[in-house]
Structures are given as C-alpha cells and as structure tokens.
Structure 1
Amino acid sequence: MNGWHYLLLAGFFELGFTTSLKLSEQFSRAVPTLLTLLFGGISFWLLSKAMQTVSLGTAYAVWTGIGAFGTAIIGILFFKDPLTFWRAFFLCTLIGSIAGLKFIARE
C-alpha cells in the first residue's frame, strides 16, 4: 500500500471515531467509548504511516477533509443534521479541494 491508501483508510477510521464519539454520549456509554478510542488510535496510526510518503500539510489537510466531509454526511443521514444549499455547496468545495491536493501532489 502507498501513502495515499493509508491516508484514505485513516480518513474512513476518522469517520468511525467521530460517529462513535457522538454515540458515546460524553463517554458515558462503554462500547461507543471503547470504539472511539480504537478508531481514533487506528486513524492516527494510519495517518502517521501516510506521512512517511505524503507531505505533512497535504496529509493532514486530506485527512481532516475526509473526516469533515464524511462526518457531515453521516450527521445529515443519521443524526438529522440540516442540509441547506450553502452547506452542500461548501461540502462540495471541500471535496474539490481534497481532489485538488491529490492532483497536484508529487508524492
């Protein structure tokens, strides 16, 4: 696997981290709390693997972008977060920015 594969996986585990964090209800529920720690740890480990070949700034921006976009979508689909025109617009610009960083990367 190359750094971009690790980075993509790290972003997906970030989604598990944030969703479990929400479900933990301020760390008052044991299973979601343990999943939060597990997914967060795996996400950070994968991010560190990605940064062996992907530059620090690019890796961090892509990782947080995947987490932000994916978490927003999970919030809309499962937690009744509102979907407005402007929210959708800026989420799309976020995806465009992530794709742009991959496109210009020399890694």
Structure 2
Amino acid sequence: PMSNIPAELKENEFIGIRIEELNFLIRPEYQKLLSKMLVLHPVTFSTDEEYELHKILRAIDNNTLLSKLTKREVCRKTEYFVNEQAIAKAFERYPEIIQRTKDILAQC
C-alpha cells in the first residue's frame, strides 16, 4: 500500500494501490513509480452486516468497546467484493496498472 512504500523496490516488488488512493497518483513522486504499481483490493466481507460483525469481533478480540476501536484495529469499510468492471472503471486512467495486475495474476 502507499502508506509504506520503501525507498527502493526490488525487481519483484510492487506497490498495491487501493481505489481510494488513486487521487494521489497525480503527484510527481508517485508518477515515477507507476511502472511498479498494481491493483490492491482486499476482500474482507460481503455486506454491511458482515462489516458490523467484523467490528464486533475485533472489539471482542481487543477486549474493548466498539466506540473505542481505532481505524488500525478494523479493516476499511471498502474491503468488500467489487466486480471486475467496477475496478476497471475506477482504474480507467491507469490501464497499465490493470494490465500489470492481470499479467502477474496469470503467472500464478
């Protein structure tokens, strides 16, 4: 993720970009890294109810109240299943990121 990009990337290392991070890619420091970027879209839950259950379980695991959970203790609310068309639409200004992601997936 963009939150922890190392100073140097090895040949086999890439940067995962979430849909909500796409607006940052206009910055020059990220433009020069486009060739190392991939689509990153973790899927943790499929419905709003599951997200609420996730928060309850995290509160139990952390032995705390729901209201005391921090952002770091729960997943992002955007971590739900998105179809391929929605991801393609979100990344339409960066077709090279989509293609690189598909190429790497094809190697698996």
Taking structure 2 as the reference length, what is the TM-score of the superposition?
0.26
Taking structure 1 as the reference length, what is the TM-score of the superposition?
0.26
Relative to total residues, which structure has the larger helix share, 1 or 2?
Answer: 1
Structure ID, larger Rg: 2
Relative to total residues, which structure has the larger strand share, 1 or 2?
Answer: 2
